[in-house]
Amino acid sequence: MGRAVEDFIAEDVEAALGPAAAALLHSPDLKLTEPLYLGSFPAPTDPTRQLDLTAHRRDGVLILEIEPSTPDPATAAQMLAGVRRISAELDAAPDLSRLLQYASREFRRLTGFDRVMIYRFLDNGTGSVVAEAKSDTLDPFLNHHFPASDIPKQARALYLQNLIRVIPDVDYRPAPVTPSVNPASGKPLDMSDCSLRSVSPIHVQYLKNMGVAASMSVSLVVDGVLWGLIACHHSSPKLVPYELRESCKHVGQILSQQIKAREDAELHRQTARLSAARDAFLEGLTRATSIEQGLLSASAELKKLVPCDGVAVLFRSRVSLAGHTPSETQTRALADWLLRSAPADTFVTHSLVQHHSAVEAFATEASGLLATVVSPEEPIVLLWFRAEHLETINWAGNPHKPAEPGEGMNQLSPRASFETWKETVRHHSRVWSLAETEAVRRLRRAVLELRQQTTLRELNTQLRRTLADQDVLLAQKDLLMREVNHRVQNSLQLVNSMLQLQARQSPDAEVKAQFEEATRRIMAVSTVHQRLWRSDHIESIDFGSYLEELREGLLEAWGEAWAEHIKVHAGSVLVATDRAVVLALVVTELLTNAVKYAYEGSPGPIDVIVREDGQGSLRVTVQDHGVGMLRDTTPKSGLGSRLIRSLIGQLGGELEIKGQSPGTAITLAVPVVAGSVQ
């Protein structure tokens, strides 16, 4: 402002800031307790400079914050267009991992910081950098962990209250508040919602130790909980004006919503898969002589219910084991401990030794445990084990030395080293997901209900006997249908084998390639046929599951090196059977082209994305991030090209080829509700 602080005391607003600023303070919204941007006004001592004015009320006083305006600020329309573009980029990300990577890249482009990290808080309070965009001169922090002491609980609470925090220059000198107390309340001024406030000197020193001269953080809040931060670092002082801060805050809120949507969708998909497995298991359990005997004899089936390494069933004095488990004696002792100490419903941990030290003797087989006590009286206990998963964690510095004594009395200095520090974690397993825990909880309730229904089932026995003759006829019919389907499947496999044999005998590489393409096309038809005769639905098929099976078959031919790169992103989409076969043939052709040409024969990411547009059409996209489509890779006269055009014509669909930077995206749009293919 060009004046001493003391000169402002007892001066009215117009005299201190000028008539333009005084006019801004007549806003009717100034009753709000949240900071409100009022506008800009010329600096009293230099009218060529514009200053931004923000205000909010707290404890009987009006707090004004004044900071330099952007010399050439973007218009509201320009800022909104930029945010909308970023929102569209995030919405197009096929999974959570790439959503976060896109966000770090776009946030760096928006702000110009040297480094932008997406930092996620883990269950134990530590944090991990899950995405990063940075200058080439900086060492990476991607996948590095940071101890919980770097961002303690008090700091996390502030991140929930203030969604954006900026330190333009770590070498700033804190200025004292004048007067030292709020004249209205007689207490220190509450600056909780102020942007222009000092920060912890330990945090400032922490940034200096990292070689950071300016920083900004934007909170990522999911369901009211601090999920993580967008952390920005710069090697020189950097001012972030008000307009840009608001855009960053809005992008952070969009990213938070996208994270919640992706996590909810993944939870829904996992829950649906586990529910289907549970229903199939319960169906078999209902046919057992008794629920208890059924559980004992179906331990191997229980192993399929939840991803694990081993399963144990304890019923009274009997124990049934399947997979990699502790010994029978160790399992009995563990079940006794659960009956004495664990909750009656469900017990879950990925580090059992932390709860029960005796487990260390068999932690290799059972570092993780998901268990439920079905009945404590008899007892009936179900246990799922996960083996020890040795994990090497990259820490940004030694996590066991978070702070050191400072120069003054009772002062701490933050750790100075952020070089990669590796630690091997023992006695931990893969973490059980919320969906897996809930699946076991629901299984327990279902088993209890089945036991209660035993009496009713016995009363219905006589009725089932009356219908036995009809059931026999239906079973014979089902057997006949299965035999027919089995023969059809064998015929398809025979044709496939003949083609493969012919391919091996041909010395011509091009002929071999054509035989291999024909084999893949027959495999696509065979896959849908397998799903049909295993399913109760003949008219339609779950296209997402169909593509997953088709992917597995193709990987057998292309090799496991492609397994982690080719991914299918599809929900539960029902498609008419005849259209599903044709669509699968087109996807097979497009995947084959991508595998051959996108990365010049080397494995690389290829995504198959299936979406319904809400207007009766299905959009199937095959996209890669490779060298881009070359004209001579898909000649119009080639069999594959002619086949694709012919099949799309049968479906009444359209094909869109879009070049990306890098890669190619080919989208097939077809009506789902149209009549059968002719």
Q: What is the pLDDT of residues 535-589, one digit of tens each?
A: 555 677 888 888 888 888 788 878 888 989 999 998 888 888 778 878 888 888 8
Cβ-based neighbours of 673, under 8 Å, separated by 6 or more: 616
Q: What kind of architecture, by CATH, is found in domain 288-390+427-459?
A: 2-Layer Sandwich (3.30)
288-390+427-459 matches 83-176+190-266 in CATH topology: yes
CB 273 within 8 A of CB 544: no
pLDDT score for 29: 67
Average pLDDT over residues 459-483: 65
Average pLDDT over residues 633-649: 68
Q: Give the pLDDT band of residue 678 (cuts 50, 70, 90).
A: very low
User: Which CATH class name applies to 83-176+190-266?
Assistant: alpha beta
Q: Give the pLDDT band of residue 391 (cuts 50, 70, 90).
A: low
CB 452 within 8 A of CB 382: no
pLDDT score for 671: 87
Q: For the domain made up of 467-671, give the CATH fold.
A: Heat Shock Protein 90 (3.30.565)
Question: Does residue 134 surpass a pLDDT of 80?
Answer: yes
Full-model pTM:
0.59
Q: CA 405 to CA 418: how far, in whole Å? A: 18
Query: pLDDT higher for 613 or 169?
Result: 169
pLDDT score for 628: 82
What percentage of residues in the chain have a pLDDT greater than 90?
A: 26
pLDDT score for 588: 84
Per residue in 401-457, pLDDT (tens digit) is 655 555 544 445 566 556 655 656 677 888 888 889 999 999 888 888 887 776 576
Tokens of 118: 């997406």
Q: Give the pLDDT band of residue 528 (cuts 50, 70, 90).
A: low
- Give the type of residue at 646: S
- Give the type of residue at 40: S
Enumerate the domain spans of the chain.
83-176+190-266, 288-390+427-459, 391-425, 467-671
CB 96 within 8 A of CB 102: no
Q: Whose CA is closest to 366, among 428, 434, 432, 314?
A: 428
What percentage of residues in the chain have a pLDDT greater than 70?
A: 84
Question: Does residue 634 surpass a pLDDT of 50?
Answer: no
| Torsion on CA atoms 79, 85, 90, 92, rounded to nearest 10 | 170
Q: CA 669 to CA 579: how far, in whole Å? A: 12
Q: Give the pLDDT band of residue 234 (cuts 50, 70, 90).
A: very high
Instruction: Please spell the DSSP secondary structure of 576-605, one letter per residue.
Output: EHHHHHHHHHHHHHHHHHHHHHTTTTS---
Largest CA distance in the chain: 103
For the beta sheet containing 310-315, the strands, ordered from the edge strand earlier in sequence to the opposite edge, are 318-323, 310-315, 380-386, 368-375, 346-349
Average pLDDT over residues 333-356: 86
Identify the burial level of 240 via C-beta atoms within 10 angstroms of its C-beta, where 0-12 means exposed, 13-18 middle and 19 or more buried.
buried
